[in-house]
Copies of this chain bind each other. A is one copy, B any other.
Amino acid sequence: MKNKEKHLLYRDVQDALELIGGRWRGAIMASLCNDPKRFTELKKDLEPITSRTLTKELRYLEQNRLIIAVRGSQAKNAVCYSHSEHGSSFAPLILQLREWAIKHRTIMLEVLKFDQ
């Protein structure tokens, strides 16, 4: 029990970071924060992502219920991607990650100045 809890301490973090880690998954979630987007819009927004990668990551996020893909009933060419309810519960974390990244950048710049 003690041992298991010890593991869970970091295993949950590993799980979360697998879901939205890598180069694109978190970015896709961020891009969908404001509003639903079409495949092509996402691709433009996330430049230089490739079609292949975008497709793969969208499928992954869909399978893990973080996003919803609405495929047009008659028009197969119209697909709209948006956060699922659960996915949008991740939005606050995205904002904090951004803020933290910005803070980190300024700190690293200060350090660089100091080190010279």
Interface contact A27-B6, CB-CB below 8 Å: no
Q: Is the CB of B65 within 8 A of A86?
A: no
- Closest-by-CB residue of B relative to A14 is B27
Over the window 37-53 of chain A, the binary record of Cβ atoms lying under 8 Å from chain B Cβ atoms (1 yes, 0 no) is 00000000111000000
Nearest chain B residue, comparing its CB with the CB of A29: B13
Q: Is the CB of B16 within 8 A of A21?
A: no
Determine whether the beta carbon of A107 is less than 8 Å from that of B65.
yes
Cβ–Cβ contact A102 & B12, under 8 A: yes
B16 & A98 in contact (Cβ 8 Å cutoff)? yes
Counting CB contacts under 8 A, is A55 at the interface? Answer: no
Is A104 interfacial (CB 8 A cutoff)? yes
Given A64-B108, A86-B104, answer yes or no on A46-B16 (Cβ-Cβ < 8 Å).
Answer: no
Q: A93-B93, A107-B65 are in contact. Are A101 and B20 (CB under 8 A)?
A: no
> Which of B7, B12, B22, B98 contacts A97, CB < 8 Å?
B12
List 6 A-B pairs, Cβ < 8 Å: A7-B47, A13-B101, A14-B23, A17-B22, A17-B97, A89-B103
